[in-house]
Amino acid sequence: MINYTIYIVDDDDAVRDSLRFLLETAGYNVLTFSSGSEFLEKYDPNLVSILITDVRMPGMTGLQLQEELNLRKINIPIVFISGHGNVPMAVDTMKKGAVDFIEKPFNLTEIQEVISQLTAEAQARADEAQSQRANEELLSKLTTREQQVLGRIVAGRLNKQIADDLSISIKTVEAHRANIMEKLQVSTVADLMKVALHFHSTKE
């Protein structure tokens, strides 16, 4: 069984303690923080995790924390809890990637049900992030010239066109292609395209 980690970010000690008790009793690994900045310092991208955060907090608000996570491309399921929630706020957080929004005073059973429903989402996002890190590691092995060749392969340029673009011979292009495929651990051009396109799509 996967040991999911639940991050709780709330400046209210009582809320943090009650959520921690509930979720630890349910078998989850729980880490609590009193501020968004503290959470960002301790966040571990290698954990399969879910974030529960208050909307209104001193310093960095929950909404600002969500913005910062988006900027850092940290793709973690977020559940907002708030005593000041309203429909427009909920809609806005959902558009930015939140997956649920619960108003205080909340039912602890409801929180547990929401977390149970999000475990599959958390696993999917963690798998995606791991795949992306693996792609980045492979692509970092390419030389500058190999990156130039790869970019043109992705753009649909033929070997002769790539050779003309870079003022090199077709045989040199072919050699670069072979090196690229070896370094990226792919055996077909289709797989090569998948790695490259997936990397570029997550960077946009």
pLDDT at position 1, please?
Answer: 46
Residue 132 amino acid letter: Q
**Could you report the per-residue pLDDT of 7-53, keeping only the tens digit for each?**
999 999 988 998 898 888 888 899 999 999 999 999 998 888 999 99
Tokens of 23: 């979720």
**Could you report the per-residue pLDDT of 135-175, keeping only the tens digit for each?**
778 788 889 999 899 888 888 889 999 999 999 999 999 99
- Asked if 5-127 and 141-203 have one fold, the answer is no
pLDDT interval class at 198 (50, 70, 90): low
Q: β-strands 49-54, 29-33: how paired?
A: unpaired
**What length does the chain have?**
204
Instruction: Please give the full DSSP string across 158-176, using - where no structure is assigned.
Output: -HHHHHHHHT--HHHHHHH
Tokens of 69: 């996570």
> Does the structure show a pLDDT above 60 at 203?
no
Domain boundaries, the chain: 5-127, 141-203
Q: 82 has which bridge partners? A: 103
**Could you report the per-residue pLDDT of 62-116, keeping only the tens digit for each?**
889 988 998 888 888 898 887 765 656 666 666 665 577 777 777 778 888 888 8
Tokens of 165: 């673009």
Burial class (CB in 10 A: 0-12, 13-18, 19+), 109: exposed
CATH level 3 topology of 141-203: Arc Repressor Mutant, subunit A (1.10.10)
Binning the chain into helix, strand and coil, the percentages to the nearest 5 are: 60, 10, 30
| Backbone phi, psi, residue 112, to 5° | -65, -40
Among 3.30.300.210, 3.40.50.2300, 3.90.1150.10, 3.40.640.10, name the CATH number for the domain at 5-127: 3.40.50.2300
Burial class (CB in 10 A: 0-12, 13-18, 19+), 92: middle
The overall pTM is greater than 0.95: no
Are 100 and 41 in contact by the 8 Å Cβ rule? The answer is no
Q: What is the DSSP letter of 143?
A: -
pLDDT at position 204, please?
Answer: 47
- What does each C-alpha distance from 39 to 20, 84, 108, 166 come to in angstroms? 15, 22, 22, 46
| Distance of alpha carbon 42 from alpha carbon 129, whole angstroms | 17
Q: Give the number of other Cβ atoms within 10 Å of residue 56's Cβ.
A: 13
